[in-house]
Chains A and B, each alone.
Chain A
Amino acid sequence: MVSNVTSRMMLDQVTSYLSTMIGTLAEHDPDDGDHATPGELRRFLGGLRLLKGVPFSYLVPDSRLLPLESIRFFYLDRAWTDALTQGVLSVGTITTADRAQLEAMYPHIRAEVDQAERVQRRPKDEERLEGAGGTITGFLIRSKLVSGWPNMHVRAYSRDVLPDDALSTVAESHPDRMKVLRLERLAPAVLLALIDGVPEVIHLEEPRQGIQFGVRNAPGDPGDQRRVKVRRTDTGAAVPPVESFTDTNSVTVPFRRNAPGVIDMVQLAGRLRDTAPGAGPALESNEYALQMLRFPYRQVFGDPDEVSGTRFYDLDQFAVKLSVTAWTSTVQAHLRQAQTKSEGQ
């Protein structure tokens, strides 16, 4: 009688109950798939792993660790965030049985929450990326940059393959880029970014609010002086040296006397005409606009000595591409060869 229960019965029950039972015990989420941990708990724990809701004094225990006008990079301590989730899970464990059960379930909860971390921030039109939990890095900025330029662009790259001033429009799910797990203003002037992995280079870019025209305060100049970098009038390319301001690649902006910030346009046009390579006898308004164009400024954080931009592939990423038919024919040829050889013997 015992054998009856184990074999026939088991199969029948598997087929008949499987579909209904999945819905009752495992949570099925059309976006997230099936998980043992309830979605609400999983998402809460995933957010907590990314330090959502954790008081700021727990992140930066002393304000002198994050002084005014500073950026601080860090690794996220996984042991700390694990302790955080264990604290949540300990809620309501009263008996030894509760705790034994929690210990049994914990590896699965942990693995599922690792996954949930990745989907906390999901920008529109970005591919969904999944994987086990890995190293998380990030940075904190405490600066007027955060309050004055809301929606600053933050991009992290796994390899420094782009020139620092190159236009980059690749999606965040691109292999060269690293996913930003969390990007949030914790205070009007404090920005927290968490990055999935260890980036080689991070770009912080001025928000793009359309094409703008403007001037620059060159480093080292007094605060009440402005300069304009000239461009070649035929190609629009910048005049070297790109990094610094010299008298050959920039002009000082003339201001009207006694008038705050009023630019003497004619004088400025004259100076630009004299300095910009390829300028004609008169600087038309379109050429003038070309000179005055200001592109968003991009600050690059990385190793300035690392210029090779070499990209290494992991061994498991290496794959020989061969069509199936070619492969089969090769194998069959070898088999035939071996067969004839053995028959000959």
Chain B
Amino acid sequence: MPPPKGHFVLHTNVMPAMPAGAYTLVTSHTGMPFSVAPETTHMTLAAPRYQMPVEQILSTFPPANAEGAFSDRLPQIVLKRRTLPWERNPAGGTATSTTPWLALVVVAEGEAELSTPAPVAQCVTPGVTLPEGSDRDVEQGLYLAVTETVKNKIFPCQQDLPLLSHVREVDVSDTELAGGDDDGWLAVVLANRLPVFDTVNAKPVRYLACLVNLEGQLGILPPPAPPEDRFSFELAQDWTVLAQAKPSPDPLVMGNFNLGGVVLPRAGTGPLGADRPSFTAARSQTVQGVTRLDGGSSMPAASVTSLWSTATAAVATAAVDLDAAYLVRDTMGRGFRYPISVVALEPVFRFPVLAHWSFTTSGDDTFETLMTRLDVGLLGTVVEPKPEDAPATAEPPEVVQTGHIGLGHRTRRGDRLRAWYRAPLVPFPTERDVPVDGKFPVAHASDQLRRIVPGGREDLSLAAAFEIGRLLGLSQLSVVSALTRFRAAQFGAGRARTTVEGIVDMQLPVLAERPDMFDLGRFVAVAVLEDISRNHSDILGPRRPLVDPGREINVDGDLEEIIAGGLGLNPDVIRRRAGAVGIVAALAQTAVPLAYEPGGLELDDNALAGLRNSLAAEVDHVVSVARPLKQRPGTVRDAQLSAPPAPDALDELLARLVEDEPEREDE
């Protein structure tokens, strides 16, 4: 039954029925009256031995090539097949053992050597031969070479091993852990070493985690030692000096290894190169001339992690390469490639590496310690300098309770003043602008937002905000163009609206209160205007000509005679005078008879009737010119035209004139 959602179950181990290896099945019959030849069948239980297939690795912690504060977490690797850590017996033999054959070993940069691919037979300590040498999953594998000192310091004891592997049964719906896993059963191998931070040099440390095969080498593992409750950061052994030696391959091969003045690590315990390969003699001759191989007590100039950053970057670069699968594995080993086995005086042990990844511990503090030590406060809180600290050189910031801070201010005239500034992040809730008469105050220039506080200083907070907003807007071309387009569209719409408001006799809807509703009035206005301009003859009627043709004036006879007659003058008299004094003087001298004089007006009925008739004829003429309507029978306009015209203002005026007549006569 799978565990309930959000739960997982921890198991001690899951034993395979038989460890991996080659088996022979012998089938024999007994009790028969004749003898039956036994049948022999060969069978191989395959399991990884020198290389962990990628699909068996679910996850690692810390993540490969990660940087972070991992110093309080044990590195781990999660394997998908639950029986994997117990599929081989590290002590050999065909029985299963609760002691896993896999261990996760964490080495710091400079402590050990990760080999380049080598034949699997060379992947174990020279002198050790794994049983069933033909049982190998790959021809070439990697190995981790460590000196005896390092092995004794960082490798797990044999007694530790059962504690370092367990099986986890997770809820399969828990996708983070069981991505792609079938049954939710996983094997977990923990490391026994915390990847601690280099507190001595305060430098990040790059670690390499290696899943090693302990088969046949259980006896090499260090014995239990009395523990201590404290630890200190110190590399188990530092071989990074070899990076400074930069030996060319030739001396390596030829045997006279020139270290060039480099001090080699001291072997802490154990025999000093007692049973080293024959290489020792040649090398020590060369090196001892330079310095004592085993006498260096400390490594003053050794930079523990000089390579960490370049290596991390190199792995990241390799990950994007086409050959990433190979290159990343290879680059992870950078910084762990010192030829330790060539120069070390102590015995060097080799362990096959099934999987490896590197990571960097970049801090000593844990999340918890950092969190609990955080200085908590509202913005505007200034930490008082502790008395034990060095006396503050600068003045403390001029912060007031309102959140304003006094800053140096150079005015436009060049005066050096101090002004107040308050950031948008304030220690108390502030008032937002409220609309005045439905309108928000809008600033158009930053100077509008400069304020003088009662103290006399200027408060430039909002002016600075306005100015940086303007600059940020101007810095983006797309924003400027969007703003311009928006403004143009809005402006056109506003103009159309005003025009339509003048045309239609109707209150156009105002901009909707709710911003998610569009502005109906604006669209209607624009639509109306557009439609009017397209079909103006249908909506507004036929277009009035811009200029009316002038009326033809019919003049019968001499023009001067007619004008003079109309004005009541005698043309002959004027002509005569003009002959004497000129036409202008003659006109000036001639008095124009007035039809009406204040003294007395004599209008008889005949004159009035003539006046009215001529006026009516004139009005008719004007109307006929101004309204040259097509005669469309049946329309409203025809009916209006055919009907007797309603009395208009002129009629009323004339009627009043007639009514007034008797009164005036009464006077």
Contacts and interface: CB of A to CB of B under 8 A. Distances in A.
B13 interface: yes
Interface stretch (A6-14, A119-127, A312-320, A335-343): A6-14
A269 interface: yes
Interface in A204-254: 204, 206, 209-217, 219, 222-226, 252-254
Contacts of A148: 68-69, 362-363, 365, 367, 370
A311 interface: no
Contacts of A149: 68-69, 367
Given A38-B485, A41-B479, A262-B154, A299 B371 contact: yes
A25 B522 contact: yes
B660 interface: no
A285 B376 contact: no
Nearest to B479: A44
A309 interface: no
Contacts of B300: none
Contacts of A6: 504-506
A145 B442 CA distance: 41
A99 B445 CA distance: 11
Contacts of B465: 58, 80-81, 83-84, 87
Interface string A41-83: 1001000100101110011111011110111111111111111
A213 B163 CA distance: 13
A91 to B, nearest CB: 5
A16 B231 CA distance: 84
A9 B383 contact: no
Contacts of A226: 72, 194
Interface stretch (B222-230, B243-251, B569-577): B222-230
Contact of A286 (B12, B363, B467, B517): B12
Given A80-B465, A214-B73, A260-B232, A62 B405 contact: yes
A111 B515 contact: yes
B364 interface: yes
A107 B164 contact: no
B288 interface: no
Given A13-B527, A72-B381, A102-B444, A58 B61 contact: no
B380 interface: yes
Interface stretch (A154-162, A174-182, A288-296, A321-329): A288-296
A292 B540 contact: no
B493 to A, nearest CB: 6
A206 B445 CA distance: 46
A37 interface: yes
B236 A38 contact: no
Interface in A243-298: 252-267, 269, 283-290, 292, 294, 296-297
Contacts of B486: 37-38, 41
Interface residues of A, number: 139
Nearest to A253: B229
Given A76-B424, A149-B68, A213-B73, A255 B228 contact: yes
Contact of B528 (A13, A53, A81, A296): A13
A90 B68 CA distance: 46
A5 interface: yes
Contacts of B466: 83-84, 86-87, 90
B472 A103 contact: no
A91 B444 CA distance: 9
A110 B463 CA distance: 19
A40 B484 CA distance: 12
Contact of B518 (A36, A72, A222, A263): A36
A21 interface: yes
Contacts of A65: 379-382, 397, 399, 405
Given A262-B153, A288-B166, A214 B72 contact: yes
A90 B539 CA distance: 41
B483 A91 contact: yes
B225 A88 contact: no
B454 interface: no
A89 interface: yes
Interface stretch (B20-28, B124-132, B425-433, B615-623): B425-433
B511 interface: yes
A121 B539 CA distance: 51
Given A44-B476, A269-B163, A289-B166, A144 B494 contact: no
B34 to A, nearest CB: 53
B334 interface: no
Interface string B179-195: 00000000010101111
Contacts of B424: 51, 54, 58-59, 76-77, 80-81, 84
B638 interface: no
A140 interface: yes
Contact of A74 (B177, B193, B426, B540): B426
A104 B515 CA distance: 14
A297 B474 CA distance: 44
Given A2-B505, A262-B154, A294-B73, 15 more contacts: A26-B518, A34-B516, A71-B374, A83-B469, A87-B473, A88-B472, A90-B443, A204-B371, A216-B366, A217-B72, A223-B199, A261-B193, A266-B224, A285-B166, A286-B12
The 10 closest A-B pairs by CB, nearest first: A87-B469, A254-B227, A88-B473, A17-B527, A84-B469, A286-B10, A74-B425, A214-B73, A265-B160, A78-B432
15 contacts: A1-B541, A6-B504, A33-B516, A69-B375, A70-B374, A75-B428, A84-B468, A89-B483, A101-B491, A213-B190, A215-B72, A257-B228, A267-B227, A294-B72, A297-B371
